[in-house]
Homo-oligomer: A and B are copies of this chain.
């Protein structure tokens, strides 16, 4: 092999904050603190404090490869941890506080976190769990001395006191770019959460994709408010991409209600914000009820769940804010596709644009995707065929921490996302279902999500889930499980007639059952596994 003669400079997370300090040193980071007031400082200050924190971590006896947990909101101290922990060679384990208590205990023990950094909000939660956390030597409460609470947490320290003891003189070590930088557990709808272990290389490459004009186009000209939490999937990479480009960051702390987010968007002249549909519903409703418009905001990135068509319309029509639909997963760092339209779409009318905008978008370079049938044959990219969505690329997982779940890639490095989707000739991808939820009826696949979306349109239906039940002839047939609205009455026959209006005959559910409540996961998704167990013996009416 003839080796190229370019500098070997390893890709590193510390280099991101170093760059921001050197070339965007006076750019602001603004935080709504958990304590209450707005906190402001610059990339220069943040880098200085990250170096003090790195010294503090060393003083606590932490080393390269050690896992350090965080239970924290989007706040400046969490930002400092992102760079200090990974930068000194340790592994930042961001813990999702919305997991069930027993899941938090499981992942802290599985990760063997040595210290946990915790926001004031989550101190009571940790106090209840601390006796079960076997590997944790101590807790750092992310506040100053004045706000330190009484706590039963063993070996509890104050973040600001810890920093005050340290010098800002610190040289980031040169690390192998493939070494572990951070750890995030999937929320795990079935079984225990599994850990995704990112590297410096994957994180920097993913950040390039977030900064790409065809990705999320993060640049020094943006003011960015990530509502998406830093405790899950790296706030979609924005905490890294912002210093990579010198964008101003606005961190919302613990307050995600419409009024609080609106206030920050307005006061800080935010141009780009990112989050899940739930948050935007609160924001749009707040704007509507208070009669206010989003005046500075230019773009909103919606991911985590499909953006409803009506939400895209409200942003674009009522506020002149461009909606960018995106899709990814924890296992993908998380960015996979971004719904940026192409030049040929410039002349589309509003409805046709929306037809595209509800899709999850096109892959950015670095993510390869395909759809296959159950036998791993690639399906056509015609926008109609749907199959298992598989991905590969340098910021996609190779396997879970400690080998949980076994081998996750096939021979050609493809990772099965567990989603079912279509792909159109321009590369636009649209999720149609989770592969475990799709109903396989006589060789045809029926999307449970499609059926649920139709059912939910009936005025009497509050919530709907479609699951497969075994069928002697068709192998599986769809069963619709419905929770009706309070005081609404509707019959099985009326619902089936409603469904038949919009669906092909073979797609219409074979039966409807009414329930008082549907089971949910910690993050609000319907637990279809539980439903499938509950209705495993359900007798479908004997027709057809």
* Chain A interface residues toward B at CB < 8 A: 1-9, 11, 15-16, 18-19, 22-26, 64-65, 91, 176, 178-181, 196-202, 205, 208-209, 211-214, 217-221, 223, 244-246, 248, 333, 340, 342-343, 362-363, 365, 368, 392-401, 409, 413, 415, 425-427
Contacts of A395 in B (CB 8 A): 6-7
A7: chain B residues within 8 A (beta carbon):
392-398, 409, 413, 415
Number of copies: 2
Residues of the B chain whose Cβ atoms lie less than 8 Å from the Cβ of A426: 23-24, 26
In the assembled complex, the Cα of A409 lies from the Cα of B4 at a distance in Å of 16
B residues near A91, Cβ cutoff 8 Å: 2
Name A22's contact: one of B26, B178, B179, B368 (CB within 8 Å): B368
Known interface pairs A23-B427, A213-B218, A425-B25; A401-B5 also in contact (CB < 8 Å): yes
Do B199 and A427 have beta carbons less than 8 Å apart? no
| A24 surroundings in chain B (CB, below 8 A) | 426-427
Cβ contacts under 8 Å, A4 to chain B: 178-181, 197-202
Expressed in whole angstroms, the minimum distance between the Cβ of A125 and any Cβ of chain B is: 27
> In the docked arrangement, what's the CA distance between A223 and B344, Å?
12
Q: List 7 A-B contacts (CB under 8 A).
A: A4-B179, A4-B181, A5-B399, A6-B333, A18-B368, A214-B221, A214-B245
User: A6 to chain B: which residues have CB within 8 Å?
Assistant: 178, 197-199, 201-202, 333, 394-398
A19 to B213, CA, bound (A): 16
Given contacts A6-B178, A214-B246, 8 further A-B contacts (CB under 8 A): A2-B91, A9-B413, A208-B209, A211-B214, A212-B212, A220-B340, A220-B343, A221-B340
How far is B116's CA from A24's CA once the two chains are assembled, in angstroms? 46
Q: In whole angstroms, what is the CA distance A429 to B285 when docked? A: 47
Instruction: Tell me how far the C-beta of A55 lies from the nearest C-beta in chain B, rounded to whole angstroms.
Output: 21
Closest B residue to A341 by beta carbon equals B221
The residue in chain B whose Cβ has the minimal distance to the Cβ of A176 is: B1
| Residues of B close to A333: CB separation below 8 A | 6
A345 nearest CB across to chain B (Å): 10
A2-B180, A5-B401, A199-B3 known; A11+B394 contact, CB < 8 A: yes
Q: Is the CB of A1 within 8 A of B179?
A: yes
A394 surroundings in chain B (CB, below 8 A): 6-9, 11
In the complex, how many angstroms separate the beta carbon of A394 from the nearest chain B beta carbon?
4
Distance of A187 from chain B, by nearest CB (Å): 18
- Of all chain B residues, the one with the shortest Cβ separation from A345 is B221
Question: Once the chains are docked, how many angstroms separate the CA of A169 from the CA of B519?
Answer: 52
Instruction: State A65–B2 Cα separation when bound (angstroms).
Output: 5
Q: How far is the CA of A193 from the CA of B340 in the complex (A)?
A: 44
- Are A392 and B9 closer than 8 Å at their CB atoms? yes
Distance to closest chain B CB from A216 (angstroms): 9
CA distance A24 to B208 in the complex (A): 20
* A354 smallest CB distance to B (angstroms): 19
Cα distance A450–B8 in the bound complex, in angstroms: 36
Please give me the residue from chain B that is nearest to A243 by CB atom: B365
> In the assembled complex, which residues on chain B have CB atoms less than 8 Å from the CB atom of A245?
212-214, 365
Q: How far is the CA of A7 from the CA of B412 in the complex (A)?
A: 11
Instruction: Among A333, A394, A399, A413, find the residue whose CB has the most chain B CB atoms closer than 10 A.
Output: A394
Cβ distance A504 to chain B, nearest Cβ, rounded Å:
30
Least CB distance, A270 to chain B, in whole angstroms: 12
Which residues of B sit under 8 angstroms from A213, Cβ to Cβ? 211-213, 217-219, 221, 245
Contacting residues, chain B, for A392 (C-beta < 8 A): 7, 9
The complex places the Cα of A223 from the Cα of B346 at a distance, in Å, of: 14
- Which of A211, A400, A425 gathers the greatest number of chain B CB atoms within 10 Å? A211
CB atoms of A16 and B365 under 8 A apart:
yes
| B365/A220 in contact, CB under 8 A | no
Nearest first, the 9 A-B pairs at minimum CB distance are A4-B199, A23-B427, A213-B219, A2-B65, A208-B208, A6-B202, A5-B197, A213-B217, A9-B394
Closest to A198 in B: B4
- Chain B nearest CB: distance from A334 CB in Å? 12
Name the B residues within 8 Å of A211 (CB-CB): 208, 212-214, 365
Closest to A429 in B: B23
A64 to B23, CA, bound (A): 40
How far, in angstroms, from A73 to B362 measured CA to CA in the complex? 32
State whether B398 touches A8 (Cβ < 8 A): yes
In angstroms, how far is the closest chain B Cβ from the Cβ of A75? 23
Residue of B nearest to A214 (CB): B219
Nearest Cβ in chain B — how far from A265, in angstroms? 16
- Taken together as a complex, chains A and B put the C-alpha atoms of A230 and B464 apart, in Å, by 58
Distance, CA A178 to CA B398, complexed state (A): 21
Q: Contacts A24-B427, A179-B1, A398-B5: A212 and B208 contacting too (C-beta < 8 A)?
A: yes
Could you say which residues of chain B place their CB within 8 Å of the CB of A398?
5-8
Q: How far is the CB of A390 from chain B (nearest CB, A)?
A: 13
Shortest beta-carbon distance from A232 to chain B in Å: 18
Residue from the set A214, A342, A425 with the largest chain B CB neighbour count within 10 Å: A214
Would you give the shortest CB distance from A45 to chain B, in whole angstroms? 15
